[in-house]
Amino acid sequence: MTASIVVGLALGWAIHPVMTSVAGRPPLVSWAQALVLVMVAAIMGFLAWHTWQTVHVRGERLEPHQAVNRLVLARACALAGAAVTAGYVGYAVSWLGDESQYADRWVLRSLVAAAGAAGVTLASLALERACRTDGGLPRA
């Protein structure tokens, strides 16, 4: 996960000057991007809660393919969420000290998107935790 964060931070910080020199303008950050990340975080959070209720509260077992699918989804979303969080933070940092009239707007939107991506990461880690079992030992 650390590698995802480092790569995301470096790419997020570099995209502003690179795209400005190549395309003539930096990439735009819209509210839709941030809202999609918040929605994905909510979905992952619900799935983590549902899995926890199923496995740990009611003591039911998931089908093997369901457990593997949820575990793979959780791991992939945790890694991607960490990279996207770092990418948006890096992009926000690249705007600090910029005199552009849009700098404050892009910093705010980037930080909100980073918060949504951090929510995806945290919910994914919760789902990964919910998939853990006690190793098949009987419950007391």
Q: How confident is the model at residue 44 (pLDDT cuts 50, 70, 90)?
A: very high
Structure token pair of residue 118: 């951090």
User: What is the reported pLDDT for 138?
Assistant: 40
Q: Measure the CA–CA gap between 82 and 105, rounded to whole angstroms.
A: 23
What residues contact residue 105 under an 8 Å CB cut-off, 6+ apart? none
Give the residue extent of every domain in the chain: 2-130
Region 104-114: mean pLDDT is: 94
> For the segment 8-41, what is each residue's pLDDT rounded down to a tens digit?
999 998 998 898 889 888 888 999 999 999 999 9
50, containing H or E segment: helix 31-52
Please compute the mean of the pLDDT values over residues 44-52 and round it to a whole number.
96
Name which residue leads in pLDDT, 103 or 125. Answer: 125
- pTM given for the model: 0.87
Higher pLDDT, 39 or 59: 39
